[in-house]
């Protein structure tokens, strides 16, 4: 048995800040209750209550820190905690999939990390299996080494119980850096991600909440004066606003993805990123369910894409624990050598079977129909300016044509690859053994055209990760269902032509 340990004392402050964050809305209400001039001491009551709440949160943070203990015993990570009711949690080493590190603003000056323990069953829960809010980096690394070494011995058939003796710790396996994101890629990513638009939208929403304090009429009159002065000046002002928004978007991207590095450590992928808050995510290769390429319209002409791992396990509340960005911004041709080192059993360059020509009118018709649903009321209620929305018709037709040209599928004896488009182009690579379900549906209209929609699901998130291709030839849909059936292993019914390495598959 290893000795019982407590978290770093800074945990008391972190606990208090977390509670304050959860109580943010009640605190704001208390502040606004006292917006007028104080006439008696009772008018300061909301501030007294708020101060008492802060003191109480700090006190409870100290108690929670003192009651939290962890140690290693009998092949388990054991945790004892509880503010009023003592709780004990025992996590066997063999169930632990990864220890994910996070270094926040309060962690880094003290060389601390937060550890999230992810297990094979975490995806069905509402949070990580366990969390060590603040421990030293050395303690975290030692914990990781001990658990990894114990799991390795179990795999080798050594069932001897672990008693907490750190002598079983072996040397760290060799690390190989596969990818490091450059400053150029960060700028391209921020520019093509639509982040500037998000910033502008956020500013407008924020300003809309303070309409009574902003003299919109005076601002509007100033804008009219600017336009009357000259369209050039108005254009310069617009460019300046978008430049500021772009700089903010670039800054946010740098904060999140600075020093983005992908390493291969034994049979795990280790991803580190972040400037102010540094995160380290470990993904065991055996948890990978599929790989997704994502190209938006701005990146596609330049050959840039992002690569995402669809992973089993993780926490529902952690948005990065299931769909993990492996390569946030990279040229497509540069991604394949990296992926070959990580998952050499995947076929990355493959020939796609497209949808039939008769499907083109279906892609275009449904997109145009949807645009008319928007154009009708907009044109009626905002006539005549609303007629500008008619431009959506050719845009919708163009999108339908792009979706038709993109749609395609490919199946070998053990892999299914789907290619489709919403607004962005998606390519999903799935091993047959990882596919949870494969189905095809057919509407009345599709039945007349002898086409159908293919749906596939792999294990990721609580309900799985879904991919679908509309208006596939019915014969192809039936062929895929036959390929997925258990009898296909015996029949070997389908083995498409594979491209040579020199030939582009997309």
Q: Where are the domains of the chain?
A: 11-172, 183-257, 261-355+407-491, 358-402
User: How do residues 372-425 score in pLDDT, each as one tens digit?
Assistant: 999 999 888 888 888 888 999 999 999 999 999 999 999 988 899 999 999 999
User: How do residues 466-487 score in pLDDT, each as one tens digit?
Assistant: 999 999 999 999 999 999 987 6
Residue 124 has pLDDT above 50, yes or no: no
Q: What is the CA radius of gyration of the chain?
A: 28
Residues with Cβ within 8 Å of 428's Cβ and at least 6 positions away in sequence, in order, are 290, 291, 292, 293, 310, 417, 418, 419, 456, 467
Per-residue pLDDT at 410: 94
- Cα 172 to Cα 10, 38, 141, 265, 343: the distances in Å are 29, 64, 10, 9, 22
What phi and psi values does residue 118 have, to the nearest 5 degrees?
Answer: -105, 130
- Give the tokens for residue 157: 């058939």
Per-residue pLDDT at 31: 62
Return the percentage of the chain with pLDDT > 70, whole number: 74
User: How do residues 414-456 score in pLDDT, each as one tens digit?
Assistant: 899 999 999 999 999 999 999 999 999 999 999 999 999 999 9
307, 293 in Cβ contact below 8 A? yes
Per-residue confidence band for 172, with pLDDT thresholds at 50, 70 and 90? low
Separation of alpha carbons 131 and 134, rounded Å: 9
Q: Please give the DSSP secondary-structure letter assigned to residue 87.
A: E
Per-residue confidence band for 7, with pLDDT thresholds at 50, 70 and 90? very high
Run of H or E residues at 365: helix 360-381
Residues with Cβ within 8 Å of 342's Cβ and at least 6 positions away in sequence, in order, are 178, 264, 269, 285
Per-residue pLDDT at 430: 94
- The pTM is what? 0.77
- Name the more confident of 382 and 334: 334
- Name the more confident of 345 and 225: 345
> Of 265, 342, 211, which is closest to residue 220 (Cα–Cα)?
211
Listed in sequence order, the DSSP H helices in 105-179 are 137-155
443, 303 in Cβ contact below 8 A? no
Per-residue pLDDT at 505: 39
């Amino acid at each position: 048995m290893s000795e019982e340990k407590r978290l770093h004392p800074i945990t008391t402050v972190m606990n208090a800040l977390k509670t304050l964050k959860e109580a943010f809305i009640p605190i704001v209400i208390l502040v606004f209750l006292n917006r007028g001039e104080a006439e008696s001491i009772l008018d300061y009551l909301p501030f007294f209550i708020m101060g008492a709440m802060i003191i109480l949160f700090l006190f409870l943070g100290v108690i929670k820190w003192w009651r939290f203990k962890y140690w290693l015993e009998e092949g388990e990570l054991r945790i004892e905690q509880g503010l009023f009711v003592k709780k004990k949690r025992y996590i066997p080493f063999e169930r632990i999939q990864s220890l994910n590190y996070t270094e926040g603003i309060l962690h880094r000056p003290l060389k601390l990390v937060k550890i999230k323990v992810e297990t094979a069953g975490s995806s069905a829960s509402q949070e990580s299996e366990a969390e060590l809010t603040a421990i030293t980096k050395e303690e975290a690394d030692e914990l990781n080494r001990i658990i990894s070494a114990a799991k390795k011995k179990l795999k080798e058939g050594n069932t001897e119980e672990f008693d907490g003796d750190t002598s079983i710790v072996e040397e760290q396996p060799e690390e190989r850096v596969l990818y490091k994101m450059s400053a150029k890629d960060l700028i391209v990513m921020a520019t093509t991600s639509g982040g500037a638009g998000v910033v502008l939208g956020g500013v407008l929403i924020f300003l809309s909440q303070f309409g009574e304090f902003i003299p919109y009429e005076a601002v509007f009159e100033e804008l009219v004066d600017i336009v009357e002065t000259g369209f050039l000046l108005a254009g310069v002002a617009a460019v300046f606003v978008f430049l500021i928004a772009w700089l903010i978007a670039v800054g946010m991207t740098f904060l999140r993805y600075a020093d983005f590095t992908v390493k291969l450590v034994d049979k795990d992928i280790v991803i580190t990123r972040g400037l102010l808050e540094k995160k380290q995510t470990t993904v065991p290769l055996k948890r990978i369910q599929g790989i997704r390429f994502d190209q938006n319209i701005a990146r596609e002409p330049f050959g840039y894409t992002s690569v995402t791992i669809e992973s089993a396990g993780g926490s529902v509340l952690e948005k990065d624990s299931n769909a993990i960005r492996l390569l946030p911004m990279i040229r497509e041709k540069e991604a394949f050598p990296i992926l070959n080192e990580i998952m050499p059993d995947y076929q990355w360059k493959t020939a796609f079977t497209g949808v039939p020509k008769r499907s083109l009118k279906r892609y275009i018709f449904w997109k145009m129909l949807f645009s008319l649903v928007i154009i009708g009321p907009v044109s009626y209620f905002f006539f005549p300016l609303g007629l500008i929305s008619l431009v959506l018709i050719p845009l919708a037709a163009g999108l339908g044509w792009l979706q038709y040209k993109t749609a395609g599928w490919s199946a070998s004896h053990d892999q299914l690859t789907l290619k489709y488009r919403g607004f962005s182009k998606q390519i999903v690579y799935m091993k047959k053994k990882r596919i949870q379900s494969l189905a095809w549906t057919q509407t009345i209209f599709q039945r007349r055209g002898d086409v159908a929609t293919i749906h596939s699901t792999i294990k990721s998130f609580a309900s799985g990760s879904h991919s679908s291709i509309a208006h596939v030839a019915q014969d192809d849909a039936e062929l895929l269902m036959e390929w997925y059936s258990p009898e296909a292993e015996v029949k070997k019914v389908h083995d498409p032509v594979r491209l040579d390495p020199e030939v582009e598959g997309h």
